[in-house]
Chains A and B, each alone.
Chain A
Amino acid sequence: MPATRPTAAVVGIGLVAGLFSALFGVGGGLIVVPLLMLVLGFSPRLAAGTSLAAIGITSLFGALTFGVLGNVEWLPAAKVGLPAMAGTLVGIQLQQRLSARRLSVVFAAFLVVIAVRLLLE
């Protein structure tokens, strides 16, 4: 990041991302990427990469906080997290070959199904 970029804006984005992350149990990349692009003029690529690194730190704070509060269940975390580590390596390979556009429509439909199930719970 060039020195001319306002650090205050980055701190502001961090505060919002942390709130979002801890409230929803997600990394926060969903809002960090667009904010880095809109507020600081990052390219989509730089925003995505920087976001991944930042949400690693954010998730660590969240995990520690909820861990101390006794809300983390470690075995289930391993059950989804370990296969996800293998999955992300596959995803990185696949991104070169598949149409993300087509996949994003399937992904969106899947999210709607999950949302309906959660609302009916």
Chain B
Amino acid sequence: MIEILEAVGLGFAAGVLSGMFGVGGGILFVPTLSLVLGLTQLHAQATSLVAIIPVVAIGAWRQARHGNVSVRAAVVLGLSSAGGVAGGAALATTLPEDVLRTLFAVLLLAVAARLLLDARRDPARVDGDRVEL
């Protein structure tokens, strides 16, 4: 029961961050699914991709209404990503669990570093453009 409440709370937080920063929320979905709900790293990552879809659909719909979506670029980019997805999925399903988890932890540290650098270097950008949705 506590796990479910924690997962719902973190899921909600991922959504709030998604709305504020214009990201999908995967960066919080993956650790919530693995550390709180006990999924393996691979299953957490795979499941995160499913949870992202409705969240970005809402975000993209809001952005499109404000004229902030280049539809042609989004469609070309999205469709061409299929090739990369095939490669990434082959890699993710081949790598050992602990390597996958370590890579993800490094990604989290990199994102944290970038957030801190952005906030220091260019406050206007973080306060303005980065939060547009």
Q: Are A53 and B11 in contact (CB under 8 A)?
A: no
**Which A residues between 28 and 81 are near B, CB-CB below 8 angstroms?**
28-30, 32-33, 36, 40, 42-46, 48-63, 65-67, 69, 71-74, 76-77, 79-81
Looking at A49, A50, A101, A112, the one whose CB has the most chain B CB atoms below 10 A away is: A49
Q: Are A88 and B16 in contact (CB under 8 A)?
A: yes
* Interface size class, chain A: 35 or more
Q: Hey, which chain A residues are within 8 Å of B112, CB to CB?
A: 107-109, 111-112, 115
Nearest chain B CB to A96 CB, angstrom units: 9
* With contact pairs A51-B22, A100-B130, A105-B116 given, residues A82 and B11 touching in the complex (Cβ less than 8 Å): yes
Looking at B4, B39, B74, B129, the one whose CB has the most chain A CB atoms below 10 A away is: B74
Instruction: Give Cα A51 to B87, complex, Å.
Output: 20
**8 Å CB contact of B53 from A56, A71, A103:** A56
Instruction: Give Cα A82 to B8, complex, Å.
Output: 8
Q: Are A76 and B33 in contact (CB under 8 A)?
A: yes
Q: Are A27 and B56 in contact (CB under 8 A)?
A: yes
Q: Are A24 and B103 in contact (CB under 8 A)?
A: yes
**8 Å CB contact of B75 from A28, A33, A57:** A57
Q: Hey, which chain B residues are within 8 Å of A13, CB to CB?
A: 77
Q: Are A46 and B70 in contact (CB under 8 A)?
A: yes
**8 Å CB contact of B35 from A14, A20, A109, A118:** A118
* With contact pairs A20-B84, A53-B69, A92-B62 given, residues A14 and B20 touching in the complex (Cβ less than 8 Å): no
Q: Are B63 and A14 in contact (CB under 8 A)?
A: no
Closest-by-CB residue of B relative to A102 is B119
Q: Are B105 and A118 in contact (CB under 8 A)?
A: yes
Q: Are B129 and A45 in contact (CB under 8 A)?
A: yes
Nearest chain A CB to B100 CB, angstrom units: 8
Which chain B residues have a beta carbon within 8 Å of chain A's beta carbons?
A: 4, 7-27, 29-35, 37, 39, 42-60, 62-64, 66, 68-89, 91-93, 101-109, 111-113, 115-116, 118-119, 123, 125-127, 129-133
Known: A19-B91, A88-B15. 20 other contacts (CB 8 A): A20-B88, A26-B24, A29-B56, A30-B111, A52-B24, A53-B56, A54-B73, A56-B57, A57-B77, A73-B46, A73-B47, A79-B7, A80-B8, A83-B9, A84-B55, A85-B54, A85-B58, A91-B15, A111-B112, A115-B108
